[in-house]
């Protein structure tokens, strides 16, 4: 697992906690970093890349499931009930896809059937992910240095437009190299991972639209809602790229 990806997952938990980060042990920064460290520990093999066979999933899935459990335990301890409910709604698609990929059955079989070609475009995925990750990290830094809610709608627009562009970029790469069937599976995979999040927050920001090129004048989001959105986007990206790269 790359250092950048490890950093992104740690950033996920810190940003997700937002103003609720405290010095008490169950919710402090050290605990969050420890929680995040469960995800990249599957890199036992040098240059381990995309999970293209069942043995690869056997290596990856324990850490993916540990990451899910760790996040669930953290939200139980450190979020108010309404925040946890909202987070779980956004996170449901990601959690379900990970569980189905990690369980023997038709969805895992279909995933592995397309995985070899998806492995071939690993380096191209890196380009999609690198641009998205940088935008998320830049915005996270901006949010951490700005306590006001005045620009939150603008931040949401940037988050959603960047995320949807990442989805579009990934789909286009698979289509060009692997063909329509694998591209359609990839699109379905990504849609399931992101469906709740896009429906709740990002549906009005389609990729390539004019609204993604201009400032938005709309009702502002609260900083806590924006933190939850950023956390979900980062976690979705981390889990997805964990299947693609080291």
The label of the residue with tokens 């379905």 reads 188
Whether pLDDT at 240 is above 60:
no
At 58 the pLDDT is 87
Kindly report the backbone phi and psi dihedral angles of residue 70, in degrees, each rounded to the nearest multiple of 5, phi listed first: -65, -45
Whether pLDDT at 103 is above 80:
yes
CA distance 14 to 233: 13
pTM: 0.65
CA atoms within 13 A on the CB side of 85: 3
pLDDT digits (tens, 9 = 90+) for 127-163: 777 777 777 667 666 655 654 445 566 767 777 787 7
pLDDT digits (tens, 9 = 90+) for 108-119: 999 889 888 877
CA distance 145 to 111: 41
**DSSP alpha helix (H) spans, the chain:** 3-17, 29-36, 54-78, 81-101, 106-120, 122-144, 152-178, 180-197, 223-242
Both structure tokens of 124: 């191209």
**Of 4-18, 78-92, 121-135, minimum mean pLDDT range:** 4-18
User: Between residues 153 and 189, which one has the greater pLDDT?
Assistant: 189
Q: Which residue, among 204, 198, 133, has the nearest Cα to 166 in the 3D structure?
A: 133
């Amino acid at each position: 697992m790359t250092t950048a990806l490890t950093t992104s997952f740690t950033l996920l938990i810190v940003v997700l906690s937002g103003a609720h980060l405290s010095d008490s042990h169950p919710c402090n920064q050290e605990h969050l970093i420890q929680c995040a460290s469960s995800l990249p520990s599957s890199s036992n093999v040098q240059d381990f890349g995309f999970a293209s066979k069942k043995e690869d999933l056997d290596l990856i899935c324990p850490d993916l499931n540990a990451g899910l459990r760790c996040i669930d335990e953290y939200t139980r301890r450190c979020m108010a009930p309404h925040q946890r409910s909202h987070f779980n709604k956004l996170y449901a698609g990601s959690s379900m896809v990970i569980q189905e990929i990690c369980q023997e059955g038709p969805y895992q079989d279909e995933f592995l059937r397309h995985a070899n070609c998806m492995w071939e475009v690993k380096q191209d995925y890196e380009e999609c992910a690198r641009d998205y990750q940088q935008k998320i990290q830049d915005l996270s830094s901006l949010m951490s240095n700005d306590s006001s809610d005045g620009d939150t709608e603008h931040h949401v627009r940037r988050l959603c437009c960047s995320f949807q562009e990442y989805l579009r970029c990934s789909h286009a790469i698979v289509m060009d190299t692997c063909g329509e069937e694998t591209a359609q599976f990839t699109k379905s995979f990504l849609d399931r991972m992101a469906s709740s999040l896009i429906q709740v927050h990002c549906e009005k920001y389609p990729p390539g639209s004019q609204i993604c090129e201009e400032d938005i004048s709309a009702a502002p989001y609260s900083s806590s809602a924006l933190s939850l959105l950023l956390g979900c986007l980062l976690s979705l990206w981390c889990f997805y790229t964990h299947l693609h790269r080291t």
